[in-house]
A and B are shown apart, each in its own frame.
Chain A
Amino acid sequence: MAPLRTLRQVVAVTALNLRNVPHRPGASLVVVVGIAGVVGVLVAVLAMSTGFRHTLASTGRANRVIMLRSGSDSELSSGLARDQATLLVGLPAIARDGDGRPLASSELMVMVDLPRRGQTEPNNVPFRGVQPSAFAVRDEVTLVEGRRFERGVREVVVGRKAARQFAGLDVGSRIAFRDSDWSVVGIFSSGGDVHESEIWADAEVAMSAFRRTGFQSVTATLAGDPDGALPTLERLVAADRRLSISVLREPAYYAKQAKILSTLIDVLGYTVATFMAVGAMFGALNCMYSAIAARQVEIATLRALGFGGLPVVVSVMIEAFGLALLGGAAGGVLAYLYCDGASLSTLNFSTFSQVAFDFRVTPALLGQGLVWALGIGAIGGLPPAIRAARLPVTAALRTS
């Protein structure tokens, strides 16, 4: 019956202990706030990299490919001549629509300077010239306001996130790039992916306005089973001496663009949180030690009555974990309320263009925050708990 007795003692001592917590609000608050700070900062910073990664990871479909000049890792540094693009879209591994036209869009990409809303400094906003088939190829694109641009006219549709971040991109407004005025005629959504940071126009019009003679990429849907069509397409491209092209699956291409920046944010988040956690741990140690000191007589009395050392340790640990959980939850909730869904845009070094994305506070991140909180609680609670259990009963009883 020994385990049962120990359990009963644990319950009794813990209950006694927890009833005591409200009498030491200052010290307990330090633990809670300290841990809330760690978890809040950790979750908020990681929510940023999670959101950024999500935006790029949700771009593209497994059955689509992007074709760039061989050796180029981004559209900006790529270049395809018109005749190369024509050859590429005509390849048999590329799907066709009901009328037999290839489901492929040859596109050019330029950067246009636009200030953020309420600012004046220019930002590199990606401007994509697309062929009419682009909307069929990327069927996730839907107009949420206005209409599509007309062929041959200086009209643009703007991604939802670009419209929110940058000035002058509302439907009906006009924007000036390089001796030409463009009308914003629509806002599109594409499921929160990277294209929502872009401005789209008719490729032919864009080409003449920006004085380009070629394209930078071809995005195409693979015919039939993508796992079979991709090797076929790669073989066809490699066999044609007129083409020096790399064929990349869209998800792989976009995921790669997220790597550098999201790693950088992750490193920042974990470094800061680690330091803060060490600081909070010292705070927790401090608090728990003074809690023990205040309860010396009480603990010694219990020990004198025959309570074991284990219930004392467990009760202190439960108090530490309880405070840590409270802090962790508070930090997580604060991070969620403060930044979940908040959008921002930054320069992605991989593409040298602006990407807008939302902070994403996911359940996994909140869980990670709680794990950190419990970890800090454990390290902060254990040494004081052991000291409490080892307290020499007679000496402790003599202190007043």
Chain B
Amino acid sequence: MRYLPLVGAALFRRPTRTILTLLSVLVAYLLFGLLYAVQLAFQSGADTADARRLLTTARYSIIDLLPISYLGPIERVPGVVSVAHAEWFGAKYQNESNAFPVFAVDPLRYLDMYPEFVVPPAARERFAATRTGALAGRRLADRYHWVVGQRLPISSEIHPKVDGSLAWEFDLVGTLDAEDPAVQGNTDLVLINVAYFDEARLLGRGRTGWYIERIAEPAQAKTVSAEIDRLFANSPDETRTQPEKEFAVGFAKQIGDMGALVTRILAAVFFTILLLTGNTMAQSVREGIPELAILKTLGFSDRTVAALVLAEALCLLLFGALLGLAGATALLPGVNRSTGGRFPPLFVSGATWLYGAVIAVALAFAVGLPPALRVARLRIVDALAGHR
């Protein structure tokens, strides 16, 4: 601690240079915070997956439907605790296709399957009791200024009603939300009551999109999945059952390797930072050599002098990282408000801070170690004489 003033003096020998370097580290970390949040959002499906949930879809394509009559047999499979199902409604709202997902579900079965969703008990009861009822994610309701109790006109691109019309109307009975921001993205949807939907639609009655099973033991996932699929093997509607996480990972892979893209961009960013601060450090040490030589003359050991140089680099990078990530944390709520449920919520997580710190320390050693070693080896006589 008592060496702090010395580090400070070195950093502020040329304030402009230090501040500019600090600012570029800050910007790099701001970008890191934002991009890492985007990457987390892309893998949030896998991160928030419950190891006790399985997903059953049609075997040959996830857009094919399954008979609703599969519910009973799946429930009776040993190891299955409860079953829910859902179907894709194909919503078109205010003339925008797929403005948000709408699922036709059995209200209580579905809400029980996702205990991480926060639904007020009164809303839950109303949803179960109202045939034309709908629950909307809170972020969606905020974005469209919906109020509980209003009629919700949503068209379907896929499902005509019995009269041939594609225009549907539901009663908004409540909202659903989640406490964990990573789960919140999963609540950007509207749930409707399948009892009403199935009766009012013209085609596809008696079928549903997918089943969700809760199992007693995560370790049983493989055997229970295999057992469910065996039940319907060689039927016209074969199934594919997999743990929720596997499904989420597979679906994310459909989009492509988002992680690799972000990693490459960040590598370019940090490489530039490395060069920039490396150059600053080299300059700073070059100019500070007479002073460092004096310190050595005063009895500072080689190691202490080298540590001072390294501390200078650490200060620059850690402080820049701190400011950058704090900036990202401050910026993201605004970004989330403006995307309002179109995109999962972005946030700076604990993991982001940890990675940021690790990268900062690694960069500090990369840029600080060469000049530190040089200073440690410096001969006082040469340095004072101006031979570098």
Give Cα distance in the complex from A350 to B92, angstroms.
Answer: 12
With an 8 A cutoff between CB atoms, is B231 at the interface?
Answer: no
Give Cα distance in the complex from A271 to B34, angstroms.
Answer: 10
With an 8 A cutoff between CB atoms, is A152 at the interface?
Answer: no
Give Cα distance in the complex from A77 to B158, angstroms.
Answer: 5
Interface string of B255-268 (1 = CB under 8 A from A): 11000000001001
Give Cα distance in the complex from A289 to B28, angstroms.
Answer: 21
Specify which chain B residues have a CB less than 8 angstroms from the CB of A283 in the assembled complex: 20, 24, 272, 276
Specify which chain B residues have a CB less than 8 angstroms from the CB of A377 in the assembled complex: none
Query: Is B282 within 8 A of A123, CB to CB?
Result: no
Specify which chain B residues have a CB less than 8 angstroms from the CB of A34 in the assembled complex: 272, 275-276
With an 8 A cutoff between CB atoms, is A376 at the interface?
Answer: no
Specify which chain B residues have a CB less than 8 angstroms from the CB of A37 in the assembled complex: 268-269, 271-272
Give Cα distance in the complex from A285 to B166, angstroms.
Answer: 60
Query: Is A282 within 8 A of B20, CB to CB?
Result: yes
CB distance from A328 to the nearest CB of B (A): 14
Query: Is A286 within 8 A of B256, CB to CB?
Result: no
Q: Taking each of B61, B250, B269, which has the highest tally of chain A beta carbons within 10 Å of its own beta carbon?
A: B61
Specify which chain A residues have a CB less than 8 angstroms from the CB of B271 in the assembled complex: 33, 37
Interface string of A27-57 (1 = CB under 8 A from B): 1011001100100110001000000000000
User: Number of B residues contacting the other chain (C-beta, 8 Å)?
Assistant: 46
Specify which chain B residues have a CB less than 8 angstroms from the CB of A78 in the assembled complex: 157
Give Cα distance in the complex from A106 to B134, angstroms.
Answer: 37
Specify which chain B residues have a CB less than 8 angstroms from the CB of A27 in the assembled complex: 279, 283
Specify which chain B residues have a CB less than 8 angstroms from the CB of A282 in the assembled complex: 20-21, 23-24, 27
Specify which chain B residues have a CB less than 8 angstroms from the CB of A344 in the assembled complex: 256
Query: Is B250 within 8 A of A73, CB to CB?
Result: no
Give Cα distance in the complex from A354 to B164, angstroms.
Answer: 31
With an 8 A cutoff between CB atoms, is B228 at the interface?
Answer: no
Specify which chain B residues have a CB less than 8 angstroms from the CB of A110 in the assembled complex: 61, 63
Specify which chain A residues have a CB less than 8 angstroms from the CB of B30 in the assembled complex: 275
Query: Is B255 within 8 A of A121, CB to CB?
Result: no
Query: Is B60 within 8 A of A286, CB to CB?
Result: no
Give Cα distance in the complex from A347 to B276, angstroms.
Answer: 38
Specify which chain B residues have a CB less than 8 angstroms from the CB of A121 in the assembled complex: 249-250, 253-254
Give Cα distance in the complex from A178 to B282, angstroms.
Answer: 65
With an 8 A cutoff between CB atoms, is B98 at the interface?
Answer: yes
Give Cα distance in the complex from A281 to B254, angstroms.
Answer: 37
CB distance from B91 to the nearest CB of A (A): 10
With an 8 A cutoff between CB atoms, is A83 at the interface?
Answer: no
Query: Is B60 within 8 A of A77, CB to CB?
Result: no
Interface string of A117-139 (1 = CB under 8 A from B): 00101111000000000000000
Q: Contacts A71-B155, A112-B61 known; A77 to B90 CB distance under 8 Å?
A: yes
Give Cα distance in the complex from A124 to B254, angstroms.
Answer: 8
Query: Is B265 within 8 A of A178, CB to CB?
Result: no
Specify which chain A residues have a CB less than 8 angstroms from the CB of B272 in the assembled complex: 33-34, 37, 276, 279-280, 283
B residues near A (Cβ < 8 Å) are: 16-17, 20-21, 23-24, 27-28, 30-31, 34-35, 38, 59-63, 90, 92, 97-98, 155, 157-158, 164, 166, 236, 249-250, 253-256, 265, 268-269, 271-273, 275-276, 279-280, 282-283
26 contacts between A and B (CB under 8 A): A29-B279, A30-B276, A33-B272, A71-B92, A72-B157, A76-B63, A77-B90, A77-B158, A110-B61, A110-B63, A111-B63, A112-B60, A113-B62, A121-B249, A121-B250, A123-B253, A211-B236, A272-B31, A272-B35, A276-B272, A280-B24, A282-B20, A282-B24, A286-B24, A286-B280, A352-B63
